[in-house]
Structure 1
Amino acid sequence: MLNIKTERQKGKISFSLSGQFDMGTADILEDAVENEDLTGVQSIAFVLSKLEFIDSTGIGELIKYYRKFAGQGITMELINENPEIEEVLELIGVREIMAEN
């Protein structure tokens, strides 16, 4: 199960994810993001600190959104304090992909 808490502040939206972000739950994030009005949004954050698990599908979704938002002029950041999730992000090169663009 993937739980998402959405917070909106002036010009910024944060999606805090908890639980498992994988092939079986990726559509939950997609629904949450697609249902948000991005008018006036300058920055989007995905908070991953409470995730228990992420697989390649979850990582692919994050990269997809990074590229989509960059094309719309919206900055995106990943906030994470979970060392196990961070290890996966580093191994796959997600931070490098985001730093290159």
Structure 2
Amino acid sequence: MPDEIVTNLGRAADTTTVALKGEVDVLTVDQVRVALEESLAGRPREIVVDMSELTFIDSTGLGALIFGFQRARDAGIRFRLARPTRTVHQILLLSGLLEVVEVTL
């Protein structure tokens, strides 16, 4: 069984934070999808995906982030990625996701 990838699913004020750790790939992406769905169900004003402890993300993980972003946008919820590691930032850049989703360093 894969390690826990979602290390924190917390809510403060109108912001829900989903903190990710390790690698998001085909083995762990379901944890990310579930966390994003739970976050969306809470109808916060903002969802922040903390990537400060994320070392790798593959295409399935990028797909989960796109899913979360699109659902949040459709619901009028701000969605942003926060503090990606250098490696993950490069992957986000190459994927084109940085052109669509807000990122704070």
After TM superposition, is the score higher than 0.5? Answer: yes
Stretches of structure 2 that go unaligned for 5 or more consecutive residues are none
C-alpha contact (below 8 Å) 1:4/1:29 kept by paired residues: no
1:81 Cα deviation after fit: 3.9
Tell me the secondary structure at the aligned position of residue 72 of structure 2: helix
Q: Give the TM-score normalised by structure 2.
A: 0.85
- For 1:95, the equivalent position in structure 2 comes to 98
Instruction: Tell me which residue corresponds to 1:70.
Output: 73
Tell me which moved more, 15-24 or 26-35.
Answer: 26-35
In the TM superposition, what are the counterparts of 1:1-101 in structure 2 within 5 Å?
Answer: 1=3, 2-36=5-39, 37-39=41-43, 41-98=44-101
Measured after TM superposition, the shift of residue 29 of structure 1 is: 1.4
Provide the rounded CA distance (Å) in 1 between the counterparts of 2:67 and 2:36: 12
1:21 positional shift: 0.5
Q: How many residues align?
A: 98
3-state SS of the aligned residue for 1:23? coil
CA distance in 2, matches of 1:3, 1:44: 14
Which blocks of at least 5 consecutive residues in structure 1 are unaligned? none
Moved more, 71-80 or 28-37: 28-37
Deviations 1:20-61 (A, max 9, x none): 11111111112223334413x100000111011110110111
| Distance across 2 between alignment mates of 1:66 and 1:81 | 16
- My pick for the range that moved more, 2-11 or 47-56, is 2-11
Q: CA RMSD in A?
A: 1.5
- Between the aligned partners of 1:51 and 1:81, the Cα distance in structure 2 is 7
